[in-house]
Amino acid sequence: MLGKLILLFTLVPIVELFILFKIAEVTSGLATILLVLLTGIAGAYLAKSEGRIIINRIKNELSQGRMPGNELINGLCVLIGGALLLTPGIITDIVGFSLVIPMTRIMFKRYIKGKFEGMIREGQIHFYYNRRDRRD
* pLDDT above 60 (res 134): no
pLDDT value for 136? 47
Separation of alpha carbons 85 and 93, rounded Å: 5
pTM of the complete model: 0.78
- The residues, ordered by sequence, that sit 6+ positions from 70 with a Cβ below 8 Å of its Cβ are 109
* pLDDT tens digits, one per residue of 67-119: 888 889 999 999 999 999 888 889 999 999 999 998 999 999 999 888 888 88
* pLDDT tens digits, one per residue of 35-56: 989 988 998 899 999 999 999 9
* pLDDT above 90 (res 18): yes
* pLDDT above 90 (res 24): yes
Domain positions in the chain: 37-121
Q: Is there a contact between 121 and 45 (Cβ–Cβ < 8 Å)?
A: no
* pLDDT tens digits, one per residue of 74-83: 999 999 999 9
pLDDT value for 53? 93
pLDDT tier at 132 (50, 70, 90 boundaries)? low
* pLDDT above 90 (res 26): yes
Is residue 92 packed enough to be buried (19+ CB in 10 Å), middle (13-18) or exposed (0-12)? buried
Residue predicted with more confidence, 41 or 1: 41
